[in-house]
Amino acid sequence: MKIDRERLEMLKEIMAVDFSSIELNLYLDTHPMDQKALAIHNDYAIKLMKLKEEYQKKYAPLTHEIISKCPWEWIEEPWPWEIDYEMGGR
């Protein structure tokens, strides 16, 4: 399913930033004293929070933890497996 170009770009950015956060999360699990990695992680955490807030305000919920209009917005398509990501990570 095709989605709006701007929405797709923003969703991909969230996916990319979230991935960076996951990668730093794993690294920090075994390097909890690495201050440089921790600082990068915290920068991404702030960036991710802002991006998710903006995306959910503009487009659609990412989790059920949202304040929804009626009807319940969570059920709206597309689901992640249905989206046409158009050349993936590019």
Cα(37)–Cα(30) distance, integer angstroms: 11
Q: Does 84 bind other proteins (CB under 8 A)?
A: yes
Residue of the chain from 27, 34, 38, 40 that contacts other proteins (CB under 8 A): 27
Dist. CA 5–CA 58, nearest whole Å:
13
Q: Does 71 bind other proteins (CB under 8 A)?
A: no
Q: Which is nearer to other proteins, 36 or 81 (CB)?
A: 81
Residue 80: CB minimum distance to other proteins, A = 5
List b or e across 6-15, with b for residues whose CB sees 16 or more CB atoms inside 10 angstroms.
eeeebbbebe
Q: What is the C-alpha separation between 64 and 34, in angstroms, rounded?
A: 34
Residues in contact with other proteins by CB under 8 A are 11-12, 14-15, 18-19, 22-23, 25-27, 29-32, 60-65, 79-81, 83-89
